[in-house]
Amino acid sequence: MNHDFTVIRNGALAIQANKIADIGSLDEIAKKYSSKNIINGKNTAVLPGLINTHTHAAMVYFRGMADDLPLKEWLEEHIWPAENKWLSPEFVSDATELACLEMLKAGITTYNDMYFFEDASSKAAKKIGMRAVLGAGIVDFPTVAGNSVDEYLSRAERFIKEWQGDDLIVPCIAPHSAYACSPETLKKVKELADKYNVMIHTHLSETKWEVEEIKGKYGLTPVEHLKKIGLLDENIIAAHCVWVDKKDIEAIAKHKVGVSHCIESNLKLSSGIAPVPEMLKAGVKVTLGTDGAASNNDLNILSEMSTAAKVHKAASNDPTALNAKTALLMATRWGADALGLGGITGSLEKGKAADIAIMNLDKPHLTPLYDVYSHIVYSARASDVETVFVNGKLVVDKGRLSTAEEEEIMAKAREWRCKIK
């Protein structure tokens, strides 16, 4: 997934410390390097670790709790009350472990999160060995995580200062949305993000209701509203962008805003279908996210790629609207670029971090092989991923997590389910 879209057949890759030391043909690499630890890559696809650019990882504990509802009703009448009752550092830590387990076993090595108690989430993700951009949540109303905007911002600043410079955890700040945060709050968020040079992660134009609400309050679309406040720039990643018009798309492209396309969540909540082909034509860097497992209901970027590629063909009546190669680009290199991690991860290149997924192609549904992009996007399943490295560390080996006990993580999830139920 480099800029030349190189596919190396009968290739090999050497890892030294946490980086890709070299990559090339098997003959070349075997002559230059030796190792006690060699993974046989016969009948496999070696690809960059996938990147989930928008999720709420700890909401995996609310998976299936409230389904088949409109977003506003789902959020205000079910999810927010459940969060106010159950959220705590312990809940977030335990749930994040389950989310990381699910994502790693599906080949995801980096995720971008928006939630509360992100310090607990950071410790859990680091323990499991996953790369994460974690956003401290900001809203205008009291929750179990804070009573005021100033309290949320103060916690966010402490979180940023504690985790900046970590080798796996990248702190950021996450105002929920233009309807949950006032212009004054968003300006304070921007000041804090600029002070520490961190990303801003927010929901944007997810529903028709949101657009009408912001237009009614401010006379502008949500995109125009954020532009007026000064939030639009390359340090913001905007989730959804379903209800954006041509003018909005031009503004997003001009200001180099990264977009996280969460098609399965948007479909399930009936939020609509984002105009991704139009955004791509305008030069927007569109990436892929799962959203939280409470609205998806899984954390599987492979299925997001497949769904996005197919739905946009049908919606635009154009089979070329989103091809397999572009879908995989959205899930790898572009995802890293949008999160400010393009120099670290997102492609298999010498000098980049060894964030790698190895997929077993020796399966009936992956045979015969003509085009590896087609196979990964249209045929592969999460269960086909057998080996995963993050930052040079083997975290999934022969389909099993190697950094923690899977059974303990699952058992804790079942205990929480009994409490919540």
pLDDT in tens, 79-131: 889 999 999 999 999 999 999 999 999 999 999 999 999 999 999 999 999 99
Tens digit of pLDDT for each residue in 20-30?
999 999 999 99
Q: Specify the pLDDT at position 135.
A: 98
**Can you list the domains of the chain with their CATH numbers?**
50-338 (3.20.20.140)
Query: What's the predicted TM-score (pTM) here?
Result: 0.97
Q: 69 pLDDT band (50/70/90 cuts)?
A: confident
Q: What is the CA radius of gyration of the chain?
A: 21
Q: Is pLDDT above 80 for 71?
A: no
Average pLDDT, the chain: 97
Q: 70 pLDDT band (50/70/90 cuts)?
A: confident
Distances from the Cα of 329 to the Cαs of 2, 16, 44, 114, 210, in angstroms? 9, 25, 19, 23, 29
Closest to 96 in 3D by CA, of 143, 53, 130? 130
- CA atoms 105, 106, 107, 110: torsion sign: negative
Q: 41 pLDDT band (50/70/90 cuts)?
A: confident
Q: Specify the pLDDT at position 80.
A: 86
* Higher local confidence (pLDDT), 50 or 70: 50
Bridging pattern class, strands 258-261 and 286-288? parallel
Q: Specify the pLDDT at position 169.
A: 98
Q: Specify the pLDDT at position 54.
A: 98
Q: Is pLDDT above 90 for 12?
A: yes
Percent of the chain with pLDDT over 90: 96
Percent of the chain with pLDDT over 70: 100
Long-range contacts, 383-386 (Cβ 8 Å, 24+) = 384/359, 384/360, 385/105, 385/106, 385/107, 385/357, 385/358, 385/359, 385/360, 386/44, 386/358, 386/359, 386/360
Q: 379 pLDDT band (50/70/90 cuts)?
A: very high
Q: Specify the pLDDT at position 287.
A: 98
Distances from the Cα of 283 to the Cαs of 141, 209, 277, in angstroms? 36, 27, 10
Tens digit of pLDDT for each residue in 232-262?
999 999 999 999 999 999 999 999 999 999 9
Residues 251/232, Cβ–Cβ less than 8 Å: yes
Q: Is pLDDT above 90 for 285?
A: yes
Q: Is pLDDT above 90 for 213?
A: yes
Q: 265 pLDDT band (50/70/90 cuts)?
A: very high
* Higher local confidence (pLDDT), 71 or 306: 306
Q: 19 pLDDT band (50/70/90 cuts)?
A: very high
Q: What would the mean pLDDT of 342-347 be, rounded to a whole number?
A: 98
Separation of alpha carbons 106 and 50, rounded Å:
8
DSSP 343: T
Q: Is pLDDT above 80 for 340?
A: yes
Q: Where are the alpha helices (DSSP H) in 2-79?
A: 26-32, 71-74
Q: Is pLDDT above 80 for 228?
A: yes
Tens digit of pLDDT for each residue in 155-206?
999 999 999 999 999 999 999 999 999 999 999 999 999 999 999 999 999 9
